Amino acid sequence: MKITTAGKQLNLTEAMEQYVEKKLSSLEKFFDRIEKAVVTLGMETHHHQKGEIFYAECKMDVPGADLFGKKTAKDIYAAIDCLRDELESKLKKYKQKLRGNVKKSKSGGRNVKEYQPEE
C-alpha cells in the first residue's frame, strides 16, 4: 500500500508522517488489497472558542470502491487513532460485502422444517 500524507494549515513533521505510516500499514492485516491511501492532516480554524481542533481524513483506494473517513480531536495523534479505527470498521464491512457473508433473516426458519407431530 502506498501512503501519501499532506498537511493543511499545519506543519507536517517527520514524526507525524511516521505515525500515520505505522497506523495505516496495520490495516493491511484486515484487507490486503489496499492500493493507496491519501491522508490529509490539518487544523480547523472555525472553532476559535474551543481551542485548536485537529482533523485527519483519508481516502483509501481498494478494488471496486473508494473508502473515506474523517475524524476530529483536540490532539492530532488522537485524530489519527480515531481515523484508523473508523477505516478498520469500513474495511471489515467492505470485505464482508465482497464475500457475501451478509446475515440472513430468520423469518423462513420454521417454514422450511417439516414438523411431524407424534400420534
Count the domains in the chain.
1
Question: Is 109 a domain residue?
Answer: no
Q: Which three cell numbers stand for residue 66?
A: 473508494
Question: Is 116 a domain residue?
Answer: no
- Domain of 53 in residue numbering reads as 2-103
66: part of which helix (H) or strand (E)?
Answer: strand 65-73
Could you report the per-residue pLDDT of 77-112, keeping only the tens digit for each? 999 999 999 999 999 888 888 888 656 555 555 555
Predicted confidence at residue 117, as pLDDT, reads 67
Question: Is 78 a domain residue?
Answer: yes
pLDDT-above-90 percentage for the chain: 49
Question: Is 30 a domain residue?
Answer: yes
Question: Is 92 a domain residue?
Answer: yes
Torsion of CA 79, 80, 84, 85, to 10 degrees: -30
pLDDT confidence band for 33 (50 / 70 / 90): confident
Q: What is the DSSP letter of 34?
A: -
Q: Write down the pTM of the prediction.
A: 0.77
Question: Is 119 a domain residue?
Answer: no
Predicted confidence at residue 115, as pLDDT, reads 62
